[in-house]
Each structure stands twice: as C-alpha cells, then as structure tokens.
A and B are shown apart, each in its own frame.
Chain A
Amino acid sequence: MSDRDLVVLGVGMHPWGKWGRDFTEYGMVAARAALKDAGIEWKDVQYVAGADTIRNGYPGFIAGATFAQKMGWTGARVSSSYAACASGAMSLQTARASILAGFCDVAMVIGADTTPKGFFAPVGGGDRKNDPDWLRFHLLGATNPVYFALFARRRMDLYGATAEDFAQVKVKNSLHGLNNPNARFRKESAIEDVLNSPVVSDPLRLLDICATSDGAAAMIVTSRAFAEKHLGSLKGVPRIKAVSTSTPTYPQTILELPDFATDSSAVVMPPARGFKDSICWDAYEEAGVGPEDLSMAEVYDLSTALELDWYEHLGLCAPGEAEGLLRSGATTIGGRIPVNPSGGLSCFGEAIPAQAIAQVCELVWQLRGQAGDRQIENAKLGITANQGLFGHGSSVIVGI
C-alpha cells in the first residue's frame, strides 16, 4: 500500500429520484449510511468536505457547513467545493489533501442535490451579458444536450457510429442497473425503445440523454494509521489510489460545454493529450497503473455516445474503436472491462454534487464484493471518469 493511499472506510447513498425535497434530507440519509458502514460515529469525523449545489440557495454554496450543522456542530473543520459535475471529486481531493498533510485522520465527503425538471438553465435571474453560460442559452439556445449531440454527431460522421450503437449503450446500462437499489430508473430498455423515443437534440433521443435527479452520496475516508487501528487489517479494504482534477492545457481545441469557441491553435501547438484524455491519464500516472490493470470503470454517460468517447479517453480502445468494443460485449458485466456496472447516469440521472461520489461508492461496493447481482467477478481495481463545464473533470482510481 502506497503511503499516499487513502482508506475508504464507509460509503452510503440516498437513492436517486425526483421528489423535490430539501437536499439536506437526502444528504443526511447518505451521511448516516456512510457512518454506519464505516463503523464510526459522527463525533469521530474531523473534517467535512461538502460538494456544493448551486440550485438550492446559500445552504448549497456552503455544503460542508450545512451538513456539519445539520448533523450537529462538533467543531469539525469544513470545506465546500464547487467544480460543476466534478464537485464530488474535488471534495474528495480536499479531504485527501487534509489527511495526507496530516491535518486530520477522518473525513466525510458528501454531496446532495435537488434538481429542477427539464433542461438545466443558467443559474440566477436577470440579463448577464458577461456570463458565457447565460449567453450560450440566450444567443444560441445551446442547451447541455446540444453539446452532447455535437460529440455524438462526430462519432457518426467520422467513425460510422449509428443510432443503434448509441441505443446499445442504454440497453447495456439499463441491464446493469436493473436491480441497483439506489438507481432511479430500473427498467430494461430495448434498442427499439431508444429509437422510438423522441429526438431531443439530433442525433440524440430522449433515452440517450441522462435525466436530472435528486440524490445524495457520502463516504468516510481516513488515514492509513486510523484505519489500521480501527479495522486491524487493511486486507481487501478499498483504497483511493489517485484523484485527478486536471484542467485543460492551452490550447483546448475541442468545443466543450459551455463555450462558444475553442482556444486557438494558430500559434500554440495543442498538447499531446487532449483535456478528457489528460483527466484519465493523470490519474493512471498518479496510481502507477494503466488501462490494462482495470477491472471496471464508472464513466460519465451524460449521453450514450459520451460513454463511447470515454472508452477512448480511458485508453480501453483506440479512437474510433469504441463501437466495436461495445458490440464485442467487453464493457458489459461479464466482459473484459465492464463499464458502468452501477447502471451509470442512464439509470441514475444526474445529481450533480453527489454524482462523482456515487461513482466511487460503486467501485467500493464492487471491490468489497457487495454489489449483488451486478457484481463483477474478482474486481481489484476501478476507475471513475467525469466531466463538468468550465474546464472541470475528475478521475478517481480505487483498488484493493
């Protein structure tokens, strides 16, 4: 075990759904589940790393303090992080830095959200002509699915991907998540179901695109010394081996949410690794592993087609080969490298600050052999990959 490994002592979630209740209610359920799973008490937590929700007012902006107060003030240190969809991983990184620096031994990482129905629209009212997120809606009507569709279309026009290929991702993920008690959508999907769902942003249909959900996830991470004292042995206990929260390197030459334009490659050469590749490869390098060492991956399938992009960013296959990898069954549970064994965003929908934490929760359950009928045999090492807007993204590697 590396000196920089962090032990995951406990994980917990509130199931994903759409109820519109106070996000802290969901968070409390996840927090108590994680504490119980870790076998520690709330008063043992020295640091609360909250992932912010920006759609729930001030309590959402100071999530660390909000949950610390809700659980009952204990004097614990807090932090609150916002990194769009990578907020949960950013919180984990904050907790990790505090533990590895020796400032504390036991931290809770927590995120919860309550989301509005329909398309995400810019947060906050009024005309904000200096805010690119406001402007992309106002001037272009460039919703999030528009950007997902741009990536999907490139797969079709460059690699010959088909609507059936995209639908197959949904079919696979819906099977994976069918009996996941935390998943919101637990229903098998057939190719025809996807193809018969209405086109939202061509070429993507309703069932290609992830919904927005309420939900919460929490985990207890500790120093090696604390965990050894608490558990006796660390054999088979999942450990965080890498957390990458890389930003792009100039020039960022792929058009990403919520931008009007890419950077210019006219005078500065693009980096050897593009943004989403670098998110994953920075994690591999930190953990000292490669794609060939993985047992599984939880990736951000904001759309079915984006899951295919992640196969390539993660190095599971070469660019243009993701459809073939999918069709071969390699990414289905039972295959060589199952992707989204939890069912992914396809079965969960997105609860932004909780999602990157939920990805890690799934890896932990898989590594402990507690994933029920979606269990991957002999799971030893897993990776998450996630991307948010404004240059945020994350990748976490967990192993036993």
Chain B
Amino acid sequence: MSETATSNASQVPAVEGWFTLDQNPHLIGSQCPSCETYVFPPRESACPNPACDSDELKPTPFSRFGTVWSYAENRYAPPLPYRAAEPFEPYALVAVQLEKEGIIVLGQAPKGILATDLKVGMRMQLETDVLYREDDVDYMIYVWAPAVQDEVVGGAK
C-alpha cells in the first residue's frame, strides 16, 4: 500500500507476533481460555482479569474492522527509538475500538491518511505498512485505514 512495498525489499514484522502480514491482515491478540477476556498486545501468561487466576493466554485473531475512538497527527518527528524518515512527513495515529473484543487499539494510519481524513466513529480496517527500511528489509507495522472492504458475513470480523 505504500510505494516502498512494491520494491524488492523483503518484509518482516517490526514486532513479532502482533499481526499477520497476509492479504487480509489482522491483529493477533490473546484470549484467556478460562474467563474468555481479551488482551492486546498478545502475551502467553497472566490473565489481567483480577477475578480470574488463569496463567495461560492463547493467541487469537482479532476483528479486522472497528470504529475510530480518537486520533491525532504528529507534525514533528518523534524521538528515537522511533526511526523517522527524512524528510519527516506528518502522519496520523488512530485509536480504534473493536466491538467484539471490547478493546481500543492504538496504531498508525497508513502514510497519506491525515487527521482531516478521520472522524470519531468512522469505520476502519487493519492493513500493514512499512515502518522503516534497513539493509533492504522493510520492517512492517499494522496500520488502521479507512474501511473500504465489506466485512465478510460469518467470517473473522
């Protein structure tokens, strides 16, 4: 979806195990097999529900679609360890509410989607984009983009 994604660079996730890198990417969260609550970012142990003593959490795909809870737009390059492109281009961050999971997840918007393109309540879908490139490897990150696809009824919402 970005211009760099079409080059010959290979793609690896910038963080392991948080999202898939396929055609219909989705976040990978955790779910407690005992109380069924959800967790993001994913982890293997310690259910956060104080009423549950489960020490096992299982990976689970999260809904690909959600609605905007809020958003912001960075006009200045964040400090390290963010690897800002030079020259720096403003980018938006979006907090998206996932209905089934009852969770709000913060992510970047794809390059080129800015605050003026967003609104609280807007429908979004998960995509991936290049976070930074190093030694011909694209380090990929999940991003929230305005929804263009219809949800597949009965599919992984």
Contact: A137 with B37, CB < 8 Å?
no
Contact: B36 with A140, CB < 8 Å?
no
Q: Chain B 36-51, CB within 8 Å of chain A: the 1/0 string? A: 1111110000001111
Q: Verify if A310 is at the interface (C-beta below 8 Å from B).
A: no
Q: Which of B4-12, B67-75, B149-157 contacts A (4 or more CB under 8 A)?
A: B67-75
Provide the bound-state CA to CA distance between A132 and B76, in Å: 22
B108: which A residues are within 8 A, CB to CB?
140-141
With both chains docked as a complex, state the minimum distance between the C-beta of B128 and any C-beta of chain A, in angstroms. 12
Provide the bound-state CA to CA distance between A255 and B102, in Å: 12
Within 8 A of A (CB), among B70-115: 70-84, 90-93, 95, 100-108, 114-115
Contact: B93 with A140, CB < 8 Å?
yes
Interface residues on B, range: 35 or more
Contact: B74 with A260, CB < 8 Å?
no
Instruction: Given A151-B70, A251-B102, decide whether A146 and B50 contact each other with a Cβ distance below 8 A.
Output: no
Task: Tell me the interface secondary structure of chain B in the complex.
Answer: loop
Provide the bound-state CA to CA distance between A360 and B36, in Å: 43
Contact: B106 with A142, CB < 8 Å?
yes
**Which of A134, A198, A250 gathers most chain B CB within 10 Å?**
A250
Q: Which of A17-25, A121-129, A163-171 contacts B (4 or more CB under 8 A)?
A: A121-129
A121: which B residues are within 8 A, CB to CB?
79-81
Contact: A154 with B49, CB < 8 Å?
no
Within 8 A of B (CB), among A23-77: none
Task: Give the A interface residue count (CB, 8 A).
Answer: 48
Q: Verify if A1 is at the interface (C-beta below 8 Å from B).
A: no
Q: Which of A97-105, A261-269, A323-331 contacts B (4 or more CB under 8 A)?
A: A261-269
Instruction: Given A143-B74, A198-B75, A202-B115, decide whether A264 and B39 contact each other with a Cβ distance below 8 A.
Output: yes
Contact: B102 with A141, CB < 8 Å?
no
Contact: B70 with A202, CB < 8 Å?
no
Provide the bound-state CA to CA distance between A146 and B72, in Å: 6
Contact: B79 with A137, CB < 8 Å?
yes
Provide the bound-state CA to CA distance between A149 and B90, in Å: 14
With both chains docked as a complex, state the minimum distance between the C-beta of B131 and any C-beta of chain A, in angstroms. 7
Contact: B75 with A199, CB < 8 Å?
yes
Shortest Cβ distance from A130 into B: residue? B43
B49: which A residues are within 8 A, CB to CB?
250-251, 267-268
A200: which B residues are within 8 A, CB to CB?
75-76
B residues sitting closer than 8 Å to A (CB atoms) are 14-15, 35-41, 48-51, 69-84, 90-93, 95, 100-108, 114-115, 119-121, 131, 141
- 20 A-B residue pairs with Cβ-Cβ distance under 8 Å, sorted by A, are A119-B76, A137-B78, A137-B80, A140-B106, A141-B93, A149-B72, A150-B69, A150-B72, A150-B93, A157-B121, A199-B73, A199-B75, A201-B72, A202-B92, A250-B49, A251-B37, A262-B103, A263-B48, A264-B101, A267-B49
Given contacts A140-B107, A143-B74, A150-B69, 11 further A-B contacts (CB under 8 A): A119-B79, A121-B81, A138-B14, A146-B74, A150-B71, A153-B71, A202-B92, A260-B106, A265-B103, A268-B35, A268-B51
A residues sitting closer than 8 Å to B (CB atoms) are 118-119, 121-122, 127, 129, 132, 134-143, 145-147, 149-151, 153-154, 157-158, 198-204, 250-251, 253, 255, 259-268
